[in-house]
Amino acid sequence: MSNALGIWPVRAEAEGLAQRLAQQLGAELFRPWARSETQKAQFQAAFGQHSHWVLIMATGIATRFVDGLLRDKHQDPAVVVLDEAGRHAIALLGGHEAGANLLAYRVANAVGAIPVVTTATEALRPLVVGIGCRKGVREEQLARAIGHALGLCGRTTHSGCEATVAEIGGSCDGRAVGEVGLSDGFSCVRELVTVDLKANEPALVAISQRYGIPLRVIARHQIEARSWVTRPSAWVRQSVGLDGVCEPCALIACGRGRLVVPKTTLDGVAVAVVEDDWEISA
């Protein structure tokens, strides 16, 4: 099995989207309509050749394509389904074991889609952290600023999130911020979110990888249309043409959430925290 990514659009009309995705992610693009065999037969023959797949089609078609091919979650490829309008990137198979959850974010960031991750570990994390920073920010600067913002949240009681995030903002067992394990506080964080200009900022990518929290990017035009900021920044307006980054990013990423930590800055990093606000009615 190759570690390369395979992209399978079910219709020729989706070839443009598939080409863009293949170029950005370095993937092999399949054009099944060019061959005489049925698409399902072609896909079944190719399925085991790649460890990661993006299927550009409806989820119903995707489930029929993989029917009879699955063996074990520790061996099966990751499968992400993307609709032809590039709206939703759905981690369908192999969320944790095969890396479909992270692949869903890679696909979403590449085309401006919404990542859809349904695994319980991620679903029960209530916090979304929006981040704005200067170019070349250091990883330790980000860690301190995020830790400070998480500390302002206080203690969370959500199911699946046992950490006391207040500890992370100050000290824990005598350790200063930067020494305390941020993974404790990050157990409550579902996503880190920033503007597309910062998608490849090394420190942001490093923080995301270190603590296993996906980094989601929001396009500038989306933020401009929803510039939800409590304190507009003249510097951000001059630099990137927006009134703010961290607050609108977090609010866009968590549409039903509420802003529990408005923009707070530390060491040149701006952070806002949104908490997913949902209840199950009796």
Give pLDDT tens digits for 67-108.
Answer: 999 999 889 999 999 999 999 999 999 999 999 999 999 999
Instruction: Answer yes or no: is pLDDT of 183 > 80.
Output: no
- pLDDT class of 155 with cuts at 50, 70, 90: very low
CA distance 209 to 182: 13
Scanning the structure block, which residue is given the tokens 């797949």?
A: 53
Residue 1: per-residue pLDDT: 66
Work out the mean pLDDT of the chain and round it to a whole number.
Answer: 86
Q: Are 220 and 242 in contact (CB under 8 A)?
A: yes
Task: Work out the average pLDDT over 249-265.
Answer: 94
Domains of the chain by start residue, with CATH = 2-121 (3.40.50.11220), 125-275 (3.30.420.180)
Residue 185, classed as helix, strand or coil, is: helix
Task: Work out the average pLDDT over 26-37.
Answer: 95
Q: Which amino acid is at 166?
A: A
Tell me which H or E stretch contains 222. helix 220-225
Instruction: Answer yes or no: is pLDDT of 14 > 80.
Output: yes
Residue 169: per-residue pLDDT: 36
CA distance 69 to 107: 23
pLDDT tens, residue by residue, 61-74 = 999 999 999 999 88
CA distance 194 to 161: 23
Q: Tell me the whole-structure pTM to 2 decimals.
A: 0.85
- pLDDT class of 171 with cuts at 50, 70, 90: very low
